[in-house]
Copies of this chain bind each other. A is one copy, B any other.
Amino acid sequence: MMSKDKKQPRPKAETPKGFRDYFGTEVTERAEMLQKIAGVYHHYGFDALESSAVETVEALGKFLPDVDRPNEGVFAWQEEDSDWVALRYDLTAPLARVYAQYRNDLPTPYRRYAMGPVWRNEKPGPGRFRQFYQCDADTVGAPSVAADAEICAMLSDTLETVGIPRGDYLVRINNRKVLNGVLECMGLSDDAQRDAVLRTIDKFDKVGEAGVRELLGKGRLDASGAYIDGVGLSDDQAAPVLAFLTSRGDTASATLANLRAAIGASMVGAEGVAELETMAELLDAGGYGADRIILDPSVVRGLGYYTGPVFEAELTFEIFDEKGRKRQFGSVSGGGRYDDLVKRFTGQSVPATGVSIGVDRLLAALREKGRIGSQSHGPVVVTVMDRDRMADYQAMVTELRTAGIRAEVYLGNPKNFGNQLKYADKRNSPVAIIEGGDEKTQGIIQIKDLILGAQMAENATLEEWKERPSQFTVPRGDMVAKVREILGGQR
């Protein structure tokens, strides 16, 4: 493939399909957000873990939530020695592997946070990439829903720490056991039918109450004109499911009362309601009111994956989508209890609960709201008027850097001075420094205030141009002070 044949066509300079590159502040803003999130997680007593990006396919298993055939969603390949390995598709499956592998050395409960890219071999779409960041915290080996409540409280704190103010988000809690109770009380003993109901519920976000009613019954004509077969329940049979999904009341106790009605005499259902009640009490005692965290049985994401409490953080403010329509920003984080993940490896059930924050979506939300992404300046650029005096220019840069000012000397071909100023412009530099032979002789330098220059170019009157020159001469010795003055006034 890579023969030395010189007639070989040039390779295409392209990111692989579904992948992208991140530049400048896209990278640093994400790094800052990850650091803030890790700070909260650490403060709550979680320890860092960085597992390898590559896992054996055997260890990864098929636990990708929300995907029917997960192996299809993974980048996998066969090693020479015939082991199949794959890129991790989330941070939870590796945690289960790590906990099973090191369980004799790790503390129990094991509280860990992890962050990094994960990879999904899925069809890319607008804003949907095959590599994206997650930032997770999980408690393994904690049977009590106090652990779940803590995660919800921490999620709320985290969102506020990264810049989502109270009122702009809501953590919503549901419980899989309650749903199981509802199914039990419906007398659905057939596994296939239960699975079909679960898959249908998963569409609640998209198709709403009426849609779910149709899909639980005879079926439904979807937006594309295709007819989707229903589960085949009668209206009476479907009623408890719909009652469950719409049971959110004005208060936690109203919601709990509705749920109790929906589960009838089911034991597992009662257990689920009790768990929700305990979480509500703990969160209330911790001061996390309904303006931050609520019980909401309409949360369906992950109900098929988790085994107990399920939670989701939603940003509640509205944005305009690509077609200019207003819509809620939606979910940026989800989590819940998954008590069977470690059991795959060890045979012993290990209770675990955790949360995953979709960092890229959260960044998009903050940019949307103008909370990050304000214009940041590039380095001060020292131009090169005389290429034989590179050491002089380098010395100026060193002076600026030593004073804490980000700076560089122009390192392209210095022949065309205009290119140097174009470069400073493209870097969004605040200041350019110029020292030609004449200036050198006189012991002065020219300083170009590029921020002011840009402002003036946009809207200054002739008087202002005269009054506030954006280029001026200062003694060489005043360089640092003058640059500092410009940066101080305008950054």
Contacts and interface: CB of A to CB of B under 8 A. Distances in A.
A418 interface: no
B344 A10 contact: yes
Nearest to A55: B16
Interface SS majority for chain A: mixed
A59 interface: yes
Nearest to A62: B2
Interface of A: 1-2, 10-17, 19-28, 31, 35, 38, 42-45, 47-59, 61-62, 70-71, 75-77, 79, 81, 83-85, 87, 97-98, 100-102, 107-109, 111, 117, 119, 130-131, 139, 141-144, 146-147, 149-150, 281-282, 285-287, 344-347, 378-379, 381, 387, 390-391, 394-395, 398, 401, 406-413, 423, 426-427
Nearest to A422: B107
A79 B101 CA distance: 31
B54 A27 contact: no
A336 B62 CA distance: 45
A27 B50 contact: yes
B14 A101 contact: yes
A55 to B, nearest CB: 6
Nearest to A23: B49
A147 to B, nearest CB: 5
A119 B286 contact: no
B52 A23 contact: no
A25 B11 CA distance: 42
This chain: how many copies in the complex?
A: 2
Name the residue among A20, A381, A394 with the largest chain B CB count within 10 angstroms.
A394
B77 A54 contact: no
A411 B150 contact: yes
A27 B277 CA distance: 37
A114 B201 CA distance: 44
A153 to B, nearest CB: 8
Contacts of A141: 412
Contacts of A119: 53-54
B14 A56 contact: yes
A19 B100 contact: no
A161 to B, nearest CB: 12
A59 B426 contact: no
B49 A285 contact: no
A96 B474 CA distance: 40
Q: Which 10 A-B pairs have the closest CB atoms?
A: A45-B408, A77-B77, A13-B100, A19-B52, A45-B379, A27-B48, A285-B391, A142-B411, A107-B426, A13-B101
Nearest to A405: B43
Contacts of A147: 411
Given A1-B71, A77-B77, A426-B107, A346 B10 contact: yes
Given A15-B101, A391-B285, A146 B409 contact: yes
Given A21-B49, A142-B412, 6 more contacts: A11-B59, A16-B56, A16-B85, A23-B49, A28-B48, A142-B411
A149 to B, nearest CB: 8
A282 B394 contact: yes
A21 B45 contact: no
A288 to B, nearest CB: 10
Contacts of A27: 48-50
A49 B22 CA distance: 6
16 contacts: A11-B58, A13-B101, A15-B52, A16-B83, A21-B52, A21-B98, A21-B102, A26-B50, A31-B38, A42-B406, A45-B378, A53-B53, A53-B131, A54-B130, A54-B131, A75-B77
